[in-house]
Amino acid sequence: MDRNCSQIQGNISLAIPVHMEVESPIMRVMIPILTVFGIFGNTMAFAKIVSDKRLHTHTYFAVAALILSDLVSVCLYGIHVLVYLSFEVKEDVKLFEKFFMSATFGSTHASAAHVVFLVGLRYYCVVKRIHYETLSKRILLKISCILWVLSVCFATVYYILRFHTDLDVAVTVLLFRGYLLCLPICIIIYFHLKKI
């Protein structure tokens, strides 16, 4: 019984995917298709916001920043799939895999942070309308840059904890995923409750 439990725990720690696997034939087809659609859709949405003068508002600026962070995430998946499918021996791409996993967590953090940024901006618009009107795009750009710097720090900490410590892989991945999921949800709920 104990042997089965330890085997199950070992399988659980190995089975937690950090990204979508491209080993099954269906996923080898679906991931590139979804990646192309993601790149195309995000690029078109960003181009629309940039080219349409009516969309040059604070909210759409935050949406454009969110689109860029999502575009980075989708491009990382695309690059990963290309490299993964190009190499027969996975040992050749170990360093790339480590970078990819860390960069994916960083870009996911940037996306989540920009969602919170957008929700916070909308909250500010509703609750502090007069102050909202005085916000400049320069301030919004600074906030977005700070979020990207924090995301790079997040990815760096993930890389160190995941690949240069004796911490269990499953624990590290689950902690970071929990943070990525729970913190933005808590902040969004806070903004929503304050608005009511």
pTM score, two decimals?
0.76
Arch. (CATH architecture) of 22-195: Up-down Bundle (1.20)
The helix or strand, by DSSP H or E, that contains position 4, with its residue range, turns out to be helix 2-15
Question: What pLDDT, in 10s, does the model give residues 21-48?
Answer: 556 777 777 877 888 899 999 999 999 9
As a whole number of angstroms, the distance between CA 22 and CA 81 comes to: 7
Question: What pLDDT, in 10s, does the model give residues 12-28?
Answer: 334 444 455 556 777 77
Closest to 107 measured CA to CA, from 65, 63, 48, 137? 65
Instruction: Evaluate whether 176 touches 105 at the Cβ level (below 8 Å).
Output: yes
